[in-house]
Amino acid sequence: MTLPVNVRGGIALPAMREQVTFNTSDGLTLVGELATPVGRPIVATLVTLHPLPTAGGFMDSHILRKAANRLPAMADLAVLRFNTRGTSSPRGTSGGNFGGGVTERADVAAAMAFVAARNLPNPWLVGWSFGTELALKYGLEYPILGAILLSPPLHRTTNAELAAWAGNERQLVAVIAEFDDYLRPDAARVRFASVPGLRFIEVEGGKHLWVGENLTRRVLTEIVATVNPEALPLPTEWTGELAAAS
């Protein structure tokens, strides 16, 4: 009998993990990983967009890595992570150079083309920090069910791009940390006022980087509550096989 272990930190639960690449319209190769449930159908697909690469963001930024390590097993979700252009991680380096959120439009397009080619169901964009800018600027170009914004700074998204989400059938969810470094709840409510259908989630005690297991669990819970609420509550213990951390 396998004793239960606490689900925390870098623990990796069972999943099919595939190293993937896809090509952009401007000739770059992006590297990533697709993690899917073992022996069960995929309920929804998370296409993750990482924080600012010039500030250390990459596909292994901890919330995205933990989503890939846990959510295929706990919530039957597929999790696609990839390095945007010019970004490096242990998985490898994507071609090209950082484009300030402009040329990364082609990176989002390449990821969504991969999702379509693989017939991955019910795609959602999950952006964190800089990744939320890409989701807001370009997400409406694709047949996604919605976008989940973790710590959106709203530095690069124009008012017109934000307002375009108003009245759209795609759901928009913003997870805002009480003590965020860039956009705190009161200011966020003002900026998001043009999207009255937004689901606004304020996380008491949260900070931009979501450091600590309690905040990690809260963020993952809000993601699952949006895309597969029947999987809640997420277990805090796991009995069975484990995988090597990705």
Tell me what pLDDT residue 243 has: 76
String of b and e for 24-33 (b: at least 16 CB within 10 Å)? beeebebbbb
123-156 per-position pLDDT tens digit: 999 999 999 999 999 999 999 999 999 999 999 9
* Cβ proximity of 234 and 220 under 8 Å: yes
Peptide bond into 41 cis (omega under 30): no
Beta bridge partners of 82: 32
pTM: 0.96
Q: Is the separation of the CB atoms in 124 and 148 below 8 Å?
A: yes
Report the C-alpha gap between 235 and 68 in whole angstroms.
Answer: 15
Give the span between the Cα atoms of 214 and 145, in whole angstroms: 27
Question: Alpha-carbon distance 121 to 131, whole Å?
Answer: 21
Confidence check: pLDDT of 104 > 60: yes
pLDDT at 245: 44
Structural domains of the chain ordered from first start: 34-231 (3.40.50.1820)
> What does the pLDDT look like over 5-40, one tens digit per residue?
999 999 999 999 999 999 999 999 999 999 999 999
> pLDDT tens digits for 181-220?
999 999 999 999 999 999 999 999 999 999 999 999 999 9
